[in-house]
Chains A and B, each alone.
Chain A
């Protein structure tokens, strides 16, 4: 049995190898031009890999002081920055002895993402899990009860701030977006024009200007002595921005739905809301998963713009970490570390959307 298997595998390997050679010849070296292009690309890739290997791995300073890093400057990377600064980058100015609280909060956030990703949980369990999860996170972050010391929002920062801004930004923008998209296709002129004006106004300005307005202009219009927290103002600006963009994505789905679906719903005597909830939205949202995830990913990264109003999200925390005179000049290493974290989140979102797209559209491939 084992021998037969091995023989079969050998044969397969042999065929595979000749197949590989044929593929290489057909795709990489089919003409002079292609051969030249292949060699150039190989050279560039090899050079980049070699550089990163020697800078980032072989000549890098993994553990040590900033003085040792400075000696290796230009030759090797300084990963020793992270043992020293990782807690600041991840938790920023949150009180040092209490940093298990934002750590646990980030873990709960990630747990909630996984929980929501499983289709088996798409029922009443989902809102309950979110309410329980967000309640626990609020208690952990603010404290002031159960023997936890109170921590004001000014001290929140790092990864958990990025997760708060993007999770609440998307979670609250999504219902807003659906209402705006439905409103824009409404036959009632007042509602329609209000939605159009809102969407076009918000889409017409960059997120930075919304954040600036929220942080610089808005406080001047408040009565004296009243001030709304900076984090909340930024969060509202992000929700408004995300809502306008997602609304246009949802509208795309609504318009792509064949007219027959609307007419069939009407023929069955369903009311507007019944038709929308049971017939229109389930199909429309399914159609727009790829552009929606695209918007999600974009907004997740856009939260880093809060650095211009002085909030310490994970990117700004990394920037502040390398403003320390001891570790000045090691920006590339810090940014590389943070970009890895961004990549993990964005790549997971992208992969998950591909899977869910296949699962939800299985009926079409039958």
Chain B
């Protein structure tokens, strides 16, 4: 109770402090000012999940979430390397953001109503749409999750995964036997050894297990049913809306760049493009960066140093064997949609 009161108090102070600032045309963000004075961005990330946030053999952080941190740093400083990463566990992540230990949390965190409100977070968008699914051996000849009546299913305990599983089977009135195993590694081993008929976790996790852990990936199928919505995205503290704007539009700039065909390879040559939209995105006209409190070449720096969303996706997620699917642009049948930058 005490911590909550403290949070509300600090949120209130932050709001009160930013009120006069909002009145001005080029308002500033206290978080942005602190970051600029400090000289680097403090980013809370996951140090343990391949494709999203994981240090490689050289100790360099890489992943789709890490690219958000790098893009924000590129937008602020024009230098994507000015980031310090804090590896956060699932329990620590919200406290680290609330207490100001990190400026930005990008740790494959699902956007839910309760987190958006009572935890004092502000989600700025979705950089990966995930959802829970099932993987079975092809030899079982199962085509749909509804055919899993009486099946044994491997699942990790204490996660929303376990609850979603129970909800789904109860809603569809099918019986199943859960095999609850604490660690992901052992879960996969149990599934491969045939202890369970199916293995359930997020689709991204299933795809990466299929690509990297199974002897013959083609022997396993991921069923078409997606039984939960897991929109993963970056979040910031409540109370500094201008800072939230920056993080939100950094993500949209990467989407807009993909949609307009701007990549890290051709961004320099497109600086002289006559296309009005491209000119606005790259800061040649329009002064969009200044409205965010950033340099007008903010999006140019992001695209040049980090790349557009497709480049980031192909670099980090595609090697796991995950297709674009719903994470494709809206023009290609996906859900990724950027409001216009104008």
A interface residues with partner B (beta carbon < 8 Å)? 70, 73, 84-85, 87-88, 91-96, 99, 152, 154-155, 157, 212, 215-217, 219-222, 224-225, 227, 230, 308-312, 319-321, 323-326, 328-329, 331
81-140 of chain B: CB within 8 A of chain A: 84-89, 91-92, 95-96, 98-101
Contact of A324 (CB < 8 Å), options: B56, B101, B188: B56
A227 and B57 contact, CB distance less than 8 A: no
Contact of A310 (CB < 8 Å), options: B14, B59, B88, B319: B88
B57 and A92 contact, CB distance less than 8 A: no
Residue of A nearest to B48 (CB): A323
Does B212 interact with chain A (Cβ within 8 Å)?
A: yes
Residues of A within 8 A of B54 (CB): 320, 323-324
Residues of B within 8 A of A221 (CB): 6
Given A93-B59, A222-B99, do A325 and B3 touch, yes or no (CB 8 Å)?
no
Given A87-B57, A310-B87, A328-B212, do A220 and B6 touch, yes or no (CB 8 Å)?
yes
Residue of A nearest to B192 (CB): A329
A–B Cβ pairs within 8 angstroms, 18 of them: A70-B215, A87-B57, A88-B58, A88-B59, A93-B59, A93-B61, A96-B60, A154-B85, A155-B84, A219-B96, A220-B6, A220-B7, A230-B86, A310-B92, A311-B87, A312-B87, A323-B49, A329-B213
B34 and A331 contact, CB distance less than 8 A: no
Given A312-B47, A325-B208, A328-B212, do A96 and B87 touch, yes or no (CB 8 Å)?
no
The CA-CA distance from A212 to B13 in the complex, in Å, is 27
A227 and B100 contact, CB distance less than 8 A: yes
* Smallest CB-CB A-B distances: 7 pairs: A219-B99, A93-B59, A310-B87, A96-B58, A325-B212, A325-B50, A216-B95
B61 and A216 contact, CB distance less than 8 A: no
Residues of B within 8 A of A220 (CB): 3, 6-7, 95, 98-99
The CA-CA distance from A5 to B48 in the complex, in Å, is 65
B10 and A326 contact, CB distance less than 8 A: no
The CA-CA distance from A219 to B102 in the complex, in Å, is 11
B101 and A320 contact, CB distance less than 8 A: no
Residues of A within 8 A of B50 (CB): 323-325, 328
Does B185 interact with chain A (Cβ within 8 Å)?
A: yes
Residue of B nearest to A93 (CB): B59
A85 and B55 contact, CB distance less than 8 A: no
Least CB distance from B86 to A in Å reads 6
A-B contact count (CB 8 A): 109
The CA-CA distance from A91 to B213 in the complex, in Å, is 27
Residues of A within 8 A of B91 (CB): 212, 216, 308
B92 and A325 contact, CB distance less than 8 A: no
Residue of B nearest to A215 (CB): B92
Contact of B92 (CB < 8 Å), options: A91, A309, A312: A309
Other A-B pairs, 9, CB within 8 Å; known A320-B55, A323-B50, A325-B208? A70-B215, A73-B215, A93-B55, A152-B84, A219-B99, A230-B86, A312-B47, A321-B57, A325-B320
Given A227-B101, A320-B47, A328-B212, do A219 and B86 touch, yes or no (CB 8 Å)?
no
Residue of A nearest to B44 (CB): A310
Does B78 interact with chain A (Cβ within 8 Å)?
A: no
Does B270 interact with chain A (Cβ within 8 Å)?
A: no
The CA-CA distance from A88 to B59 in the complex, in Å, is 6
Least CB distance from B338 to A in Å reads 29
The CA-CA distance from A304 to B61 in the complex, in Å, is 22
The CA-CA distance from A154 to B211 in the complex, in Å, is 32
Q: Which of A84, A92, A329 gathers most chain B CB within 10 Å?
A: A329
Residues of A within 8 A of B60 (CB): 93, 96
Residues of B within 8 A of A155 (CB): 59, 84
Least CB distance from A92 to B in Å reads 6
Residues of A within 8 A of B101 (CB): 219, 227, 230
Q: Which of A91, A152, A224, A319 gathers most chain B CB within 10 Å?
A: A224
B34 and A320 contact, CB distance less than 8 A: no
Does B51 interact with chain A (Cβ within 8 Å)?
A: yes
A325 and B59 contact, CB distance less than 8 A: no
Least CB distance from A210 to B in Å reads 14
The CA-CA distance from A325 to B60 in the complex, in Å, is 16
Residues of B within 8 A of A227 (CB): 99-101
A310 and B57 contact, CB distance less than 8 A: no
Least CB distance from A358 to B in Å reads 44
The CA-CA distance from A94 to B55 in the complex, in Å, is 10
A224 and B55 contact, CB distance less than 8 A: no
The CA-CA distance from A219 to B86 in the complex, in Å, is 14
Residues of B within 8 A of A217 (CB): 3, 95
The CA-CA distance from A294 to B188 in the complex, in Å, is 37
Residues of B within 8 A of A88 (CB): 55-59
Residues of A within 8 A of B56 (CB): 88, 324
Least CB distance from B193 to A in Å reads 10
The CA-CA distance from A132 to B254 in the complex, in Å, is 50
Residues of B within 8 A of A152 (CB): 84
Residues of B within 8 A of A96 (CB): 58-60
B213 and A328 contact, CB distance less than 8 A: yes
Residues of B within 8 A of A309 (CB): 89, 92
The CA-CA distance from A91 to B34 in the complex, in Å, is 30
A85 and B48 contact, CB distance less than 8 A: no
Residues of B within 8 A of A70 (CB): 215
B95 and A91 contact, CB distance less than 8 A: no
Residue of A nearest to B212 (CB): A325
Least CB distance from A311 to B in Å reads 8
Residue of B nearest to A230 (CB): B86
B89 and A308 contact, CB distance less than 8 A: yes
A324 and B57 contact, CB distance less than 8 A: yes
Contact of B55 (CB < 8 Å), options: A92, A219, A230, A308: A92
The CA-CA distance from A224 to B89 in the complex, in Å, is 22
B47 and A154 contact, CB distance less than 8 A: no
